[in-house]
């Protein structure tokens, strides 16, 4: 009988901790974003979706992103027409992006000014 009480005590304590304490994030805190005053479409719910097409930075071909090879460089996703183009880009990404940098800077200056 003592062992049953012992296990029930610890089971109850663990349940309370999981529900209200250190493990409450596992159970979702029992609150939705709307109840905390956040709009339902908050930034935390936002997801990045790939564009349908993009331009291969190596050869300049327009590619369908769902079937293209991809690589990430400095937090940006780049799409390629072939594995060979992706490998060339990964070997020296700055040489392929050097032409694109001035254009993006011009766009930022126009947006700020």
Residues contacting 85, CB < 8 A, separation 6+? 56, 58, 59, 69
Which of the four pLDDT bands, split at 50, 70 and 90, describes residue 8?
Answer: very high
pLDDT of residue 36: 47
pLDDT of residue 35: 47
Count CA atoms closer than 13 A to 34's CA, side-chain side: 2
Give the separation between CA 78 and CA 57, rounded to whole angstroms: 8
Q: Where do runs of H (alpha helix) occur along the chain?
A: 2-20, 83-91, 93-97, 100-112
Give the separation between CA 7 and CA 46, rounded to whole angstroms: 43
Average pLDDT over residues 28-42: 52
Expressed in percent and rounded to 5, the helix, strand and coil fractions of the chain are 50, 15, 35
Output the six-digit token pair for 87. Answer: 């490998």
Asked whether residue 34 carries a pLDDT value surpassing 60, the answer given is: no
Which of the four pLDDT bands, split at 50, 70 and 90, describes residue 31?
Answer: low
Average pLDDT over residues 66-78: 89
φ/ψ bin of 62: left (φ > 0), alpha (ψ from -120 to 50), beta (otherwise): beta
């Amino acid at each position: 009988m003592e062992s049953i009480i012992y296990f029930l005590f610890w089971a109850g304590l663990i349940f309370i901790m999981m529900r209200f304490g250190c493990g409450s994030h596992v159970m979702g805190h029992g609150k939705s974003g709307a109840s905390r005053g956040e709009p339902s479409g908050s930034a935390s719910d936002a997801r990045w979706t790939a564009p349908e097409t993009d331009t291969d930075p190596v050869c300049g071909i327009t590619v369908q992103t769902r079937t293209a090879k991809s690589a990430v460089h400095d937090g940006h996703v780049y799409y390629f027409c072939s594995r060979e183009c992706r490998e060339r880009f990964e070997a020296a990404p700055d040489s392929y992006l050097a032409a694109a940098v001035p254009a993006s800077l011009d766009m930022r200056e126009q947006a700020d000014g």
